Homo-oligomer: A and B are copies of this chain.
């Protein structure tokens, strides 16, 4: 008998039939003897509908009010699933974020979980009931205000609850059957990954693979809670996100991730002297903009250029924030290029295998794809390429590392 948290996303509860299907899956797990906590999202489209309505009614809705607004959809889903389970003879009880003691900080629309008391969940399980919890929401203990955990926050609710109640595992049910070596829409031969480490998953999530909210993976890593990503609609497949093990290290490159929503900002003709970078990035940081890759050109006659990437929808704001700094330090100009994207190879095996980056650059070069910027970490290599070459770069890298093959049939090993 295991204690299991099952999380179902918005497409899994999009209508009456799907809610019934989810209830049947829960009922089956109960029948097999497991104790089940279900964490549930709003019915697909509901949260967006409310956001659109709010934006029609005000140019700048307050975040506290948005949180009360947006938290309603998960409550509806939780009540409907509990009603369905009870109707099938499976005892169930719904809970809101507040009722399970999901306490967060006060940062509306992207609150972070501080603690989960979880008493009502434990009491429900002790009574032999399925606990159905509205995901995505918490409560700021000091003010009693409703908070939400940011888009995809139900994943984080689920993993955090699993940690709080010491569940054996957390299952994330979604509309895909696992994590793939890359987006199957771009590379038809993309292969489902059976097991992946938390670190690799974090790189994939932050680089634009949208299966799990990044913070849910951080939680999983911090508390070593295994996360299974599975399809709501198929019983086979799935990907286990877990602690790194020796088998994973054998796999040199696990996946190719990419992000299209990037822009490159360049400051031209800036003096190459201490304190310049802090002025530039200080100006950007005050606007809460997330700067990603940074490169500085070789200095020429005491002047240099500096480029960095930001999310595309923040490029205008970034340039506005930079203008005073540019004037201050005497930069010649600021330019932006929105026709770019980032392509990355990821794998914990890179730690113990050399020549991976070289092979990636070589493959891109052979395909005539120009690399505009490079950044690397222990377990990834990212390249900025032209926006219209993203798909091709992904395919080239996927082929180069033979990701369509099962890991044990791939030939790439150290080339050094």
- A residues with CB within 8 A of B: 16, 19-20, 50, 53-54, 56-62, 64-66, 68-69, 71-73, 75-76, 78-80, 82-84, 86-87, 93-94, 96, 98-99, 120, 144-146
Kindly identify which residue among B20, B50, B94 contacts A76, using a CB–CB cutoff of 8 Å. Answer: B50
Q: How far is the CA of A71 from the CA of B79 in the complex (A)?
A: 11
Which of A53, A66, A71, A98 has the largest count of B CB atoms less than 10 A from its CB?
A53
* Extra inter-chain contacts (9) besides given A57-B83, A58-B86, A65-B86, CB under 8 Å: A16-B57, A62-B82, A66-B83, A68-B78, A68-B79, A69-B76, A69-B79, A72-B72, A98-B144
Complex contact A99–B144 (CB within 8 A): yes
| A-B pairs with beta carbons under 8 Å apart, 27 shown | A16-B53, A16-B56, A20-B57, A53-B80, A57-B80, A57-B83, A57-B84, A57-B87, A58-B83, A58-B86, A58-B87, A59-B87, A61-B86, A65-B82, A65-B83, A65-B86, A65-B94, A66-B79, A66-B83, A68-B75, A68-B94, A68-B96, A69-B80, A72-B72, A72-B75, A96-B146, A99-B145
Residues on B with beta carbons closer than 8 Å to the beta carbon of A87 = 57-61
Chain B: CB-nearest residue to A73: B72
The main secondary structure of chain A at its interface with chain B is helix
Q: How far is the CA of A235 from the CA of B226 in the complex (A)?
A: 62
Kindly identify which residue among B69, B72, B75 contacts A83, using a CB–CB cutoff of 8 Å. Answer: B69
Residues on B with beta carbons closer than 8 Å to the beta carbon of A98 = 98, 144
- How many copies of this chain are found per oligomer? 2
Q: How far is the CA of A212 from the CA of B222 in the complex (A)?
A: 55
Residues on B with beta carbons closer than 8 Å to the beta carbon of A60 = 87
Chain B: CB-nearest residue to A144: B99
Residues on B with beta carbons closer than 8 Å to the beta carbon of A83 = 54, 57-58, 61-62, 65-66, 69
Residues on B with beta carbons closer than 8 Å to the beta carbon of A78 = 68
Q: How far is the CA of A19 from the CA of B54 in the complex (A)?
A: 11
Residues on B with beta carbons closer than 8 Å to the beta carbon of A80 = 53-54, 57, 69
State the Cβ distance, A225 to closest chain B Cβ, in Å. 27
User: Which 5 residue pairs of A and B lie closest in terms of their CB atoms, listed nearest first?
Assistant: A58-B87, A69-B79, A72-B72, A68-B79, A61-B83
State the Cβ distance, A369 to closest chain B Cβ, in Å. 46
Residues on B with beta carbons closer than 8 Å to the beta carbon of A71 = 75
Chain B: CB-nearest residue to A99: B144
Q: How far is the CA of A216 from the CA of B383 in the complex (A)?
A: 66
State the Cβ distance, A91 to closest chain B Cβ, in Å. 10
Residues on B with beta carbons closer than 8 Å to the beta carbon of A86 = 58, 61-62, 65
Q: How far is the CA of A58 from the CA of B20 in the complex (A)?
A: 10
State the Cβ distance, A52 to closest chain B Cβ, in Å. 10
Residues on B with beta carbons closer than 8 Å to the beta carbon of A56 = 16
Q: How far is the CA of A83 from the CA of B57 in the complex (A)?
A: 7
Residues on B with beta carbons closer than 8 Å to the beta carbon of A62 = 82-83, 86
Chain B: CB-nearest residue to A69: B79
Q: How far is the CA of A93 from the CA of B82 in the complex (A)?
A: 31
Complex contact A58–B79 (CB within 8 A): no
